[in-house]
Amino acid sequence: MAFFKNNSITQIIYSSTSVKNSDIDDQFILFSKFESAPLIDEISGNKFVISSSGQDNIFVDSGAFGNALRMKPLTELSYLFESPIFTSFSLGFWLKPVNVAPTINTQTGIPNFYRMGLIDRAQFQLSSSGMIETVPDETDFVVYEECVNNGKNTMYILLESSEGGSVIYKTSEYKSGLFHYFWIAYSGPAGQLRVFIDGVSDNTTLVEGDGVPSSLNSGTSTPLHINRSAIGHNTLLRGNFGMLDELVFQKNFISDTETIARHINLGSEFVINKSLSNTQEVYQAFTYDDPTTIDISSIYSNGKNIYVGRTDGKVFKGDRTMWRSRKDFSNREEINFIKKRLLSSDAVVDVENGALKLLKASARI
């Protein structure tokens, strides 16, 4: 088994400080890491406004990168920025969704699916029929979730046109209880709404309206909200209690997978901060955009940390309690499904205590 010299290891450290004094691309409007209270926009240093009912206050918990916001059903956050987004925007965030199991209508036998607010720049109103709707002249967009069967959720994106009317798109389903990275990009001139889930372009479905509007109702008086409301009948709306991390919002349309991969693998700070734009340190153990030709060539543990070397020359460092892999080798037969490369006559590729053991060999998982 190969051992690595100290000077060959790039230590991976996630910053818990603000990027206020950093060299930030002026296309970015908002970036929040939710590291600690008070919750702030890391670019300006300004605080989120918190509105809560009773004792249901916000708190932070371990998230995708450092800490994350644990949303509470009766707590709403808002942030006002005076920046119009008439024709384009990009919104990225980590979400660990929760699923509220559907109930069955006793009269019809049809399941009732619950919806939860997530992120919006909108105002809402209650109609005479009990529906929660947007106030068109004070709405740009609404992103909300719907809980469906089998512990999965789906996401809706509403865009309010400056010419009147709105459109709603629906994503594919995703599992609750796991962190997912969402990237939503809108371009009016190009007539595009692109959604990426965990770095993969999603096949969104148009469920209402005629297509992507050329411009939005953007003003400067409506704040950005977290966990305010969804669209639907008021009896089927619930407050969100999932986890939100690394919220980034910018006023241009970004849909290239290389940039999205940097948000996922390195963290958004490595994208918005120009001084870190060429840094290749990776916080996740295995990156989402790994080419399949890359193999693991060596593994070393010093009792506290695990170091993994790859055939492309990169070395990863991970805490033993947080290390993530693509395979669980609890079943010894799993070894039959990996591609092995023996580098010596006494090489070993084996399974030991649920982990892959490599000696003078590499493996493609």
pLDDT of residue 365: 59
pLDDT of residue 324: 45
CA distance 117 to 120: 8
pLDDT of residue 313: 67
CA distance 203 to 200: 10
**Model's pTM, two decimal places?**
0.73
Q: Are the beta carbons of 255 and 280 closer than 8 angstroms? A: no
Rounded to 10 degrees, the C-alpha dihedral 307/297/322/148 comes to: 160
pLDDT of residue 53: 64
Rounded to 10 degrees, the C-alpha dihedral 265/269/274/277 comes to: -10
pLDDT of residue 22: 63
CA distance 279 to 293: 23
pLDDT in tens, the chain (365 residues): 232 223 232 333 345 555 555 678 888 999 999 999 889 999 999 999 988 765 566 789 999 888 999 999 989 999 998 777 789 999 999 999 999 999 888 888 888 999 999 999 999 999 999 999 999 989 999 999 999 999 999 999 999 999 888 999 999 999 999 999 999 999 999 999 999 999 999 999 999 999 999 999 876 688 999 999 999 999 999 999 999 999 999 999 999 998 999 899 888 988 998 777 666 654 444 444 444 556 677 777 766 677 777 776 677 766 555 444 445 566 677 677 677 777 777 788 887 776 777 777 777 65
CA distance 109 to 57: 37
CA distance 155 to 146: 6
Q: Are the beta carbons of 275 and 21 closer than 8 angstroms? A: no
pLDDT of residue 14: 42
Task: Set out the domains of the chain in order of their start, with CATH numbers.
Answer: 28-272 (2.60.120.200), 285-364 (no CATH)
pLDDT of residue 133: 95
pLDDT of residue 319: 57
pLDDT of residue 358: 79
